Structure 1
Amino acid sequence: MFQIAIYGKGGIGKSTVSANLSYALAKEGNRVLQVGCDPKHDSTRLLLGGAAQRTVLGYIRDVPPVQRRLEDVLQEGALGIKCVEAGGPEPGVGCAGRGILTTFDVLKKLGLDDHEFDIKVYDVLGDVVCGGFAVPLRREYADAVCLVTSGEFMSIYAANNILKGVRNFDGSSARVAGLIFNGRGLEGEDEMVERFARAVDLPILARIPRSALFAQAEKEARTVMEMFPDSVLAKVIGTLSRHVIRASEDPSVLRAARPLDDDQLNALAAGRPVPMAEVREEPPRPADEQACPKAALARCEPPQLPAAPQDRKVVHTCATNGAVYCTSQIDGAVTIVHGPRSCAHIMSSSSDYYTLSSWKRNGEVQFGPAAARVASTDMDDHLSIFGGVAELERLIREELDKGFRTVFVVTTCASGIIGDDVASMAKRVEGEFEGAEVKVIESDGNITGEWDQGYLDAVGKAIELVDRAVPAESGMVNIIAERDFFNYNRESNFKAAREVLGGLGLEVNCRFLCECDIPSIRWFQRGGLSIMAQDDAMSRQICEMLRDRLGARIFDLPLPVGLHETVAWVEKLAGQMGREAAGRSMVTEIREEYRKGTSELRPLLKGRKVLVSDNYSQDIDWLLDLLLDLDMVVLKAGLGPKHMPDRSRHRSSIVFQEDYSPEDMRPDIDAMRPDLILADHRLPQDLACRCDIVHRPDVGVRSSIALAKRWADIIRLPAVEGWKDGEEL
Structure 2
Amino acid sequence: MTKEPMTMYSVAFYGKGGIGKSTVSSNVSFALSSKGKVLHIGCDPKSDSTRILLPGRKQKTVLRAFQEGVGVSFEDVALIGKGGVVCIEAGGPEPGVGCAGRGIITAFDLLKEDIFQSVDPDYRILDVLGDVVCGGFAIPMRSDYSDAIVIVTSGEFMSLYAANNILRGVKALGGDTERVLGIVANLRGLEGERAILERFAELVDIPIISVIPRSGEINDCEKENSPILEMFPESGIADSIEAIADRIERASKGEQRLYRACPVADDELETMVRGQIIEADRKKTRKSCSRSGKHIETCCAAGAVDIGYYVDSIDILLHSPRSCAYIFSSFHDRMYSNDAGLRTFRICPSGEAMHCTEITDSNSIFGGAEILRGKLEEMASRGSTDIMVITTCMAGIIGDDVANICRSFESTHPSVTVVPVLCDGNVRGDMGEGLYMASVAMLRYVDMSVEPSPDHVNILGMSFMKLSYRKKMDALKGLLGLFGLKINCMFIGGCTLEDIRNLRKGSVNLIMSNVRMARDLAEEVRRIAGIDYLDSPAPIGYAGTVEWIRRLASLTGTESRIQHTLFQLESKYSEIIGRYRPILKDKRVAIHCNAPADISWAVDTILDLGMHIDQISFDQSQGKRPRSYCVGDHGLEVLFPCTDVEAKSRLMDDPPDLVISRSPVLKTLECSHMGLTDGFFALSGIEDLCRKISDEIILGGRSGWEVRP
User: Same fold judged by TM-score > 0.5?
Assistant: yes
**2:316 corresponds to 1:335:** yes
Cα 1:386–1:423, aligned 2, differ >3 Å: closer, same or farther? same
**2:417 corresponds to 1:437:** yes
Cα 1:418–1:707, aligned 2, differ >3 Å: closer, same or farther? same
Q: Give the residue type in structure 2 aligned to 1:531.
A: L
**2:361 corresponds to 1:384:** no
**2:282 corresponds to 1:406:** no
Which segment is superposed worse, 618-627 or 642-651? 642-651
Inter-partner Cα distance in structure 2 for 1:190 and 1:157:
19
**2:697 corresponds to 1:715:** yes
**2:247 corresponds to 1:266:** no
Cα 1:623–1:385, aligned 2, differ >3 Å: closer, same or farther? same
Which residue of the partner structure matches residue 306 of structure 2?
A: 325
Inter-partner Cα distance in structure 2 for 1:685 and 1:358:
32
Deviation at 1:444, TM superposition (A): 0.8
**What is the aligned counterpart of 2:673 among 683, 691, 702?**
691
Cα deviation 1:315-364 (Å, max 9, x = unaligned): 1122212222223311121222211333233333336962669999xxxx
Cα deviation 1:420-450 (Å, max 9, x = unaligned): 1212221122223333211111111222222
**2:580 corresponds to 1:601:** yes
Which residue of the partner structure matches residue 498 of structure 2?
A: 519
Cα 1:339–1:317, aligned 2, differ >3 Å: closer, same or farther? same
Which residue of the partner structure matches residue 402 of structure 2?
A: 422
Inter-partner Cα distance in structure 1 for 2:91 and 2:368:
35
Do 1:408 and 1:439's aligned partners in 2 also have CA atoms closer than 8 Å? yes
Alignment of 1:56-455 (within 5 A): 187=110, 265-269=141-145, 309=279, 313-350=294-331, 354=336, 368-369=348-349, 372-455=352-435
Do 1:325 and 1:353's aligned partners in 2 also have CA atoms closer than 8 Å? no
Q: Give the residue type in structure 1 aligned to 2:445.
A: L
Cα 1:692–1:262, aligned 2, differ >3 Å: closer, same or farther? farther
Which segment is superposed worse, 329-338 or 689-698? 689-698
Which residue of the partner structure matches residue 549 of structure 1?
A: 528
Q: Give the residue type in structure 2 aligned to 1:337.
A: L
Do 1:356 and 1:369's aligned partners in 2 also have CA atoms closer than 8 Å? no
Inter-partner Cα distance in structure 2 for 1:270 and 1:486:
57
Q: Give the residue type in structure 1 aligned to 2:658.
A: L
- Structure with max Cα Rg: 1
How high is the sequence identity, in percent, across the aligned residues?
A: 24
**2:511 corresponds to 1:502:** no
Inter-partner Cα distance in structure 2 for 1:557 and 1:475:
19
Do 2:658 and 2:672's aligned partners in 1 also have CA atoms closer than 8 Å? yes
Cα deviation 1:595-649 (Å, max 9, x = unaligned): 2222222233223332323356753221111111112222333346456532357
CA RMSD of aligned residues (A): 4.8
User: Which secondary structure state, in structure 1, belongs to the residue aligned with residue 659 of structure 2?
Assistant: strand
User: Which secondary structure state, in structure 1, belongs to the residue aligned with residue 668 of structure 2?
Assistant: coil
Inter-partner Cα distance in structure 1 for 2:680 and 2:629:
22
User: Which secondary structure state, in structure 2, belongs to the residue aligned with residue 336 of structure 1?
Assistant: strand
Inter-partner Cα distance in structure 2 for 1:181 and 1:481:
57
Deviation at 1:581, TM superposition (A): 5.6
**2:515 corresponds to 1:536:** yes
Which residue of the partner structure matches residue 587 of structure 1?
A: 566
Cα 1:661–1:370, aligned 2, differ >3 Å: closer, same or farther? farther
Alignment of 1:522-671 (within 5 A): 522-580=501-559, 582-615=561-594, 618-639=597-618, 641-642=623-624, 645-647=627-629, 650-670=632-652
User: Which secondary structure state, in structure 2, belongs to the residue aligned with residue 637 of structure 1?
Assistant: strand
Inter-partner Cα distance in structure 2 for 1:667 and 1:357:
39
Inter-partner Cα distance in structure 1 for 2:376 and 2:104:
52
Q: Give the residue type in structure 1 aligned to 2:384.
A: F
Deviation at 1:410, TM superposition (A): 1.0
TM-score by length of 1: 0.55
User: Which secondary structure state, in structure 2, belongs to the residue aligned with residue 315 of structure 1?
Assistant: coil
Do 1:356 and 1:370's aligned partners in 2 also have CA atoms closer than 8 Å? no
Deviation at 1:508, TM superposition (A): 0.6
Inter-partner Cα distance in structure 2 for 1:270 and 1:558:
58
Cα deviation 1:191-233 (Å, max 9, x = unaligned): 99xxxxxxxxxxxxxxxxxxxxxxxxxxxxxxxxxxxxxxxxx
**What is the aligned counterpart of 1:704 among 682, 686, 698?**
686
Deviation at 1:701, TM superposition (A): 1.0
Do 2:45 and 2:91's aligned partners in 1 also have CA atoms closer than 8 Å? no
Cα 1:656–1:266, aligned 2, differ >3 Å: closer, same or farther? same
Which residue of the partner structure matches residue 12 of structure 2?
A: none
Inter-partner Cα distance in structure 1 for 2:664 and 2:392:
36
User: Which secondary structure state, in structure 2, belongs to the residue aligned with residue 267 of structure 1?
Assistant: coil
Cα 1:663–1:387, aligned 2, differ >3 Å: closer, same or farther? farther
Inter-partner Cα distance in structure 1 for 2:684 and 2:508:
25
Deviation at 1:584, TM superposition (A): 3.2
Inter-partner Cα distance in structure 1 for 2:92 and 2:698:
78
Which ranges in structure 2 are unaligned for 5 or more consecutive residues?
A: 1-16, 20-43, 47-65, 78-87, 94-98, 116-132, 148-171, 176-266, 269-276, 289-293
Do 1:357 and 1:367's aligned partners in 2 also have CA atoms closer than 8 Å? no
User: Which secondary structure state, in structure 1, belongs to the residue aligned with residue 660 of structure 2?
Assistant: strand
Deviation at 1:413, TM superposition (A): 0.8
Q: Give the residue type in structure 1 aligned to 2:410.
A: E
Q: Give the residue type in structure 2 aligned to 1:382.
A: S
Inter-partner Cα distance in structure 1 for 2:614 and 2:359:
55
Cα 1:635–1:526, aligned 2, differ >3 Å: closer, same or farther? same
Inter-partner Cα distance in structure 2 for 1:389 and 1:270:
39
Say how many residue pairs are matched: 472
User: Which secondary structure state, in structure 1, belongs to the residue aligned with residue 355 of structure 2?
Assistant: strand
Q: Give the residue type in structure 1 aligned to 2:110.
A: E
**2:396 corresponds to 1:473:** no
Do 1:410 and 1:443's aligned partners in 2 also have CA atoms closer than 8 Å? yes
Inter-partner Cα distance in structure 2 for 1:347 and 1:626:
41
Do 2:432 and 2:464's aligned partners in 1 also have CA atoms closer than 8 Å? no
User: Which secondary structure state, in structure 1, belongs to the residue aligned with residue 453 of structure 2?
Assistant: coil
Deviation at 1:155, TM superposition (A): 7.7
Q: Give the residue type in structure 2 aligned to 1:662.
A: D
Which ranges in structure 1 are unaligned for 5 or more consecutive residues?
A: 1-38, 40-90, 93-125, 129-148, 159-175, 193-256, 272-276, 281-304, 361-365, 725-729
Inter-partner Cα distance in structure 1 for 2:444 and 2:673:
47
Which residue of the partner structure matches residue 181 of structure 2?
A: none
Inter-partner Cα distance in structure 1 for 2:528 and 2:347:
33
Q: Give the residue type in structure 2 aligned to 1:687.
A: T
Do 1:356 and 1:368's aligned partners in 2 also have CA atoms closer than 8 Å? no
Do 2:597 and 2:626's aligned partners in 1 also have CA atoms closer than 8 Å? yes
TM-score by length of 2: 0.57
Cα deviation 1:395-416 (Å, max 9, x = unaligned): 3233333433221111111110
Deviation at 1:259, TM superposition (A): 5.0
